[in-house]
Amino acid sequence: MPALEALRARLAELGDLSALGRLGSWDQQVMMPRDGAAARANQLAALDRLTHGLATADEVGEWLDELEADGNELDDLDRDVLRIARRDWDRQRRVPGELVGEQSQAAAEGQVAWRSAREEADFAAFAPALRRNVELAQSYAACFPQTAHPYDALLDDYDFGLRSDRIQTLFARLAEGLTPLIESAPQGADRLAALNIPVKTQQAAVRGTLRRIGVSDAGWRVDVSAHPFSESLSQRDTRITTRYDNRGLDSITGAIHEFGHALYERQIAPELERTNLGGGASMSIHESQSKLWENHVGCSASFAPVIAGELTAAGYALEPDDLFAALTQVRPSLIRVSADQVTYPLHIVLRFELESALIGGELSVEDLPAAWNDGMRRLLGVEVPDDGGGVLQDIHWSAGLFGYFPSYALGTVIAAQLWQQLELDLGSQEDALRRAEVGEIRDWLRERIHRYGRRLDTEPLVEQATGRGIDAEPFLAHAAALVRG
């Protein structure tokens, strides 16, 4: 079957080349001297143009046609390879190259405008660039006229098959459940900010904690970057980063979060490597993996003795109970990236409301700051002092990323649902976590989630793992337990 061989060879080539692109991007954020930036942008753009051309070439369409004609000769795996290849090819071919170019241009310019506008807390200076990004996202959505809402076309790039009305229902339930919980939470000073752990101690504890959950030198690197991230250069070459700042334990919980992303990529079935199925299913599922490890392992009462032990061994004595109390304190605040696990989803609910209204044309860019400030008051009871700490805080919209935010909250919700199922299947993990024995958790995740790669989309994958679609209740129960303390 030469069309199958040709298609698989092209997909392997694209996988290999895109890994070099990920290396370029990892290096840029972790290793590159700053004077290398301009040349690196050229290098990555050249690779993008080339892989885009290889992915969308006419001959790929011919192979797909041929394989679809003899589809019954394919085995299960190749049927999935073909199905996803068709979907990706069709989606990419629908978008004119000129629009793609305009979008990257507008994204680059948008980020420049955003950086200075945020510094000056001057939304008006950013509005024209944002308007341009919104218009281009609308044009992009218009390439997919079959979706019910233009926002759904954007969602498909991050979470194929999820629809905005489904998210709306889930997020309404989150808001309804979380708002009274948060109101009932005890008030108090920021416990994390009160910790003052020397960077060297944090570094030792990050190394020690990661080693205990399975990070080894043979297949991992752990480095530092301005924004923590995880990059999989192959199934056996994993790079995660964290950062060390003054706020308590973000270095450790951030590293555990990135570990969750990374473990996912490492546990995809080996036969999917170098095919189009060898990556994570979606942004929400990816985020569910990082959040599962962050919220349900790293920040659990049972695991607190492990982290506290690593900190103590590195010279900073901390009681597990105090550590757990700091890690799980509920405290409404302005900034998404430093929000606690209970208030965090409401930051996302707000962004989803606003960006789907922007894309749908129901909200104008000029009305956005007021809508933001109203939403913060309504959802979190927080007054926004200025746009720098408000609507200008995130980079996403400046880079034309609309439809991305929901995955952060969906990931949190799915993580709680998976954890509930995992403990139903395996029994309580409390004792195992106290001893940092996470082998069974890793195996369960491999079997239920990781090994599928892209073979199942978000909601079918959750159904397959838990017997039902995405469900907000396990997270609400988890949140309620945290607030009750």
34/484 with CB nearer a second copy: 34
| Positions marked catalytic | 258
Given a contact cutoff of 8 angstroms between Cβ atoms, the answer to whether 299 and 202 are in contact is: no
Closest to a second copy by CB, 29 or 168: 29
CB of 221 to a second copy, least distance (A): 6
Q: Closest distance between a second copy and the C-beta of residue 261, in Å?
A: 17
The DSSP string of 46-72 is HHHHHHHHHHS-HHHHHHHHHHHHTGG
How far apart, in whole angstroms, are the C-alpha atoms of residue 162 and residue 143? 18
Instruction: Kindly tell me which of 261 and 331 has the beta carbon lying closer to a second copy.
Output: 261
| 354 close to 164: Cβ distance less than 8 angstroms | no
Distance CA 263, CA 442 (A): 8
Nearer of residues 159 and 231 to a second copy, judged by Cβ:
231
- Concatenating the DSSP letter of every residue in 205-229 gives HHHHHHHHHT--TTTEEEEE-SS--
Do residues 323 and 307 make contact, with C-beta atoms less than 8 angstroms apart?
yes
Considering only CA atoms, which of 44, 49, 147 is closest in space to residue 91?
Answer: 147
Q: Which two tokens stand for residue 355?
A: 């960006």
Kindly give the pairing relationship between strand 237-242 and strand 220-224: parallel
Contact 441, 293 (CB under 8 A): no
In whole angstroms, how close is the CB of 274 to a second copy at the nearest point? Answer: 7
Give whichever of 43 and 179 is closer to a second copy, judged by the CB atom: 43
State the residues that interact with a second copy by CB under 8 A. Answer: 12-13, 16-17, 19-21, 23-24, 27, 31-36, 38-40, 42-47, 49-50, 217-221, 233-238, 274
Helix (H, G, I), strand (E, B) or coil at 365: helix
Residue 349 neighbours by CB distance under 10 Å: 25
Q: Which amino acid is present at 192?
A: L
Q: Which is nearer to a second copy, 218 or 226 (CB)?
A: 218
Please tell me the distance from the alpha carbon of residue 150 to that of residue 155, in angstroms, as a whole number: 9
Q: Minimum distance from CB of 7 to a second copy (Å)?
A: 16
CB of 251 to a second copy, least distance (A): 21
Please choose, from the candidates 428, 404, 408, 439, the residue with its C-alpha nearest in 3D space to the C-alpha of residue 263.
439
CA separation for the pair 332, 343 (Å, rounded): 6
